[in-house]
Amino acid sequence: MIAASDAKNELFRRVSGYTDLADRPEEGILSGPVVRGFFAEDHFLLIKTFPDKSPGLRSGRVFSHTLFIPKADLHRVRNLSNLFQYHLPGIQKEAKMTPLEYQSQEAMMTTGAVDGREAAATNALLQNQRFVWLGKEGFWEWVARIWPKLPAKVKHMLKIGAAFGPSYVKNEYVSLLYIPEYAKTLWERHSFRVIAKGESQTLLSSAANWLVGDAKKAAPFETLLDDFAPKIDSIETLNRLEDYGKAYHHLDKDPRLNHLLVLANFISQISPNERLGIKGKNRLMTAILQAIPNAPVNMFMVLIYQSWKGFPDAITSASDALRDWLTNHLLKGKQAKECGVVLAKALEAETKNWWVRTVLGYANNRLKKRQPSDAPILWQWMKKEPTLIAQHTSWLPDDAENELTQKIPKLETAVAEEVLHMAEQKGWLVLHAKVAVQRYSAEKAIEAQLRIDTDQDHTIALQALSGSINGSSFVPVAACHTDARLHRIAGKLITENSKLLKGIDIASEGWQQCWKAAIEQGSEVWSGISNPQHTLFEILDHLLAGNAFSGTLLNAISIGKYSSLKDYPHRVSIWPELPEKARSGFITATLLELIEELASGKLSYNDLEAELKNGLQSQKVQQHVISSKTIPLTKKLQLFNVLPGLGENHAEQLIQNHHFSPAEAEEFGRLVSNNRWKKVVEDLYNNRFHRKDLVPALLQCIHLLGFFRRLGLSVTGLKSDAITHDEWWEAFRSKAVELYPLGPTQNGLWTNAGGKLEELAHQGVSGKQSWTSAINHIRKGGSPSVKKLIKEMQKEFHGDSTLTQLIQSL
């Protein structure tokens, strides 16, 4: 450094090395002065470099005169070429350097038309092309055109002026360079656009026109600047404002929402002050708010990136518009099934901004008031966005299981696994059961359910699971488990479809429990089992082998059909192995089948084992025999002579429960007669008029009736020989003695009846003796006749029924 305006300022020394011309022509010798400009340590250096051909210097030396403009003052330079006047006109090594005072001047507006070369350079600059200006002619005039509008930050990144080698051009700088005409091929080889004379381009955008100062053609761009008051700090900002601003120019033509949002986001970056650009921001915001309620899902989600910085009160109005959209689309309409991605986006957001808070707030409130029709949509969300399942605690209400369970769609494997995990965490056992059926085989589904469904009082989920599995698959699996709930459910399925017992394994405790549960729920004991007797004998063999079998089930079997052990080969041995209650049932059933053989004599009572003998003596068996509607009455009558314990009360029940044939009635009468069952005789007598079928029985045992009952039967003609002559005369004598204890002469009875006193032995004898003598007289044909005598008695004792019966029986 030869000289500086402030020799003590170390800045000049530090940066003096930058003023050398590192980038030189190929021969290293500068042919004439060149001007360059760039920043170094917060100063813009405008350097004019001369070739120094002073005597004694080696070839290629240069002399540079540098103007230092502080960064803070650069904006005052409206036309860079105005500073050229301060450069030395030539090499003046003795010149004194003094501070310069630059008076800011308004940039002179270039009134001439922009030529094709300037247009090409301007377009290249805005299009971020690597370009250079060929030759010096017109270069600084073009720079002068664009300098006033170049953003300050662009100026701070400038490399401007003469250039020789492409390798010195760095991408991190904005390079506005001119090159020697001979270097054109070199620069083109390095992919630089060379702006030569004769270019015929026109400016391609209103931003380009604005940059070169054509106010008329730049009007659309000026509108954006006026309405939004943006801060332009780069060429890219110019381009983006031009590009994004197209949507603003078409607000009245219903522009697409995505274009409006891109512009709004960009405005937030370049015009963040809410007090500036109010006109444009309000217009843009109004258009956006109108478009949001009917936006497609993808556009609705883009709103998450909008900060609305610089837009007054935008978050409040945008949040309202979001809620309108959510009301219209979240859970209804064509887009509802796609809206799961909206919720997922909100849940996954790292920052809970206005969009996230609005979406989550609305969704949570809406789902608290959900409707049954929402369930299919919620499933569509979870199918398409499985992350929602994993984040169920953040959005899915804990009481939504019922609706979701009723509308489960077909789920892919991964989704099903996620749902199962969610259901387990939420304690949604029914949902877990139904999804487990989709995901696994019957066996694995039941195992998965039992792992979390452990409350023995809770059966709803397992019932739901069974409803989704074929019964032929569910029952065998249930039989392999010890869970009583599975057994009850299996029992119900068997009750509804007895064929499910086809594969029963009687040795399996689980199968026994399922069978028992079916019986308890109304199934016939042997329903669904093709060969009941064979199965029963297998069960008994199982017991004889020392194995356990459900006592409750045995009890049920013992009182059902096919419970007779009449033909069981090991009948004698099995009785001690049976529980008492079941043994009683089997004994009863067995005896009922042996009744016919006992009644017919094919089997002797003494041939029976002790258990059966004891059974025959039990009131229960006896009562069962008497009450049975399957044992014929004839057989029952025969059993009275075979079975000990059948007695008069059983005979009375036969009268009540059976209609007798003549032969059966006679046999019954003989049975009554032989056993002298007087109560039965009384019943037969009392039923003689309205139970004609019992009359033959009565006649067989009539002798068990008292005299007057028999006398009455004789009088009615039912049985004329019901009494003997001696019985009749004895009855008459008794009645006569009763009525006339002094003898036949009392009250003139004998003579009034036409008898003669002399024919009586009445002197010195008792009245009874006198009646005995008188009756003997009458029976031998003496007078009066017994009929007259009775009639005479009736005159005095006209209401006496015995006298009436006696006279009627004559």
pLDDT at 105: 61
Q: Residue 703 and residue 688: Cα distance in Å, rounded?
A: 15
pLDDT at 702: 85
pLDDT top residue among 810 and 678: 678
Q: Please list the residues that pair with 629 across neighbouring strands.
A: none
pLDDT at 621: 80
pLDDT top residue among 460 and 763: 460
Q: Of 101-110, 569-578, 639-648, give the range with the top mean pLDDT.
A: 569-578
How many CB atoms sit inside 10 A of residue 334's CB? Answer: 8
How confident is residue 545, by pLDDT bands cut at 50, 70 and 90?
very high
pLDDT of 638 higher than 90? no
pLDDT at 103: 77
Q: Residue 212 and residue 146: Cα distance in Å, rounded?
A: 5
4-25 mean pLDDT? 88
68 three-class SS:
strand
Q: Please list the residues that pair with 62 across neighbouring strands.
A: 51
* ∠ Cα 420 367 401 (to 5°): 30
Query: Which tens digit of pLDDT belongs to each residue from 776-802?
Result: 998 888 889 888 998 989 888 988 888
500-520 mean pLDDT? 94
pLDDT of 714 higher than 80? no
Q: Mean pLDDT, the chain, as a whole number?
A: 91
251-268 mean pLDDT? 92
How confident is residue 720, by pLDDT bands cut at 50, 70 and 90?
low
**CA 496 distance to own-chain centroid:** 25
Q: Residue 48 and residue 242: Cα distance in Å, rounded?
A: 36
Q: Residue 84 and residue 88: Cα distance in Å, rounded?
A: 9
pLDDT of 600 higher than 80? no
Q: Please list the residues that pair with 569 across neighbouring strands.
A: none
pLDDT of 538 higher than 60? yes
How confident is residue 107, by pLDDT bands cut at 50, 70 and 90?
very low
Least reliable range by pLDDT among 472-476, 543-547, 637-641:
637-641
pLDDT at 717: 67
How confident is residue 355, by pLDDT bands cut at 50, 70 and 90?
very high
| Encoded tokens for 359 | 């979406």
Q: Residue 564 and residue 574: Cα distance in Å, rounded?
A: 13
Collect all residues with Cβ–Cβ distance below 8 Å to 275 and sequence separation of at least 6. none
190-194 mean pLDDT? 96
pLDDT at 111: 55
pLDDT at 271: 96
Sheet holding 62-70, edge to edge: 62-70, 43-51, 34-40, 158-162, 174-179, 131-134, 193-195
418-426 mean pLDDT? 96
503-527 mean pLDDT? 94
Collect all residues with Cβ–Cβ distance below 8 Å to 474 and sequence separation of at least 6. 442, 446, 466, 489, 490, 493
655-663 mean pLDDT? 92
Residue 136 burial (C-beta neighbours within 10 Å; 0-12, 13-18, 19+): middle
pLDDT at 760: 83
Closest residue by Cα to residue 680 from 663, 656, 661: 656
- In angstroms, the first-to-last Cα distance of the chain is 182
pLDDT at 781: 85
Token pair 């139970």: residue:
691
660-676 mean pLDDT? 93
pLDDT at 723: 77
Segments of 85-155 assigned E as strands: 131-134
Query: Which tens digit of pLDDT belongs to each residue from 742-753?
Result: 999 989 999 998
Q: What letter does residue 90 receive in the DSSP assignment? A: S
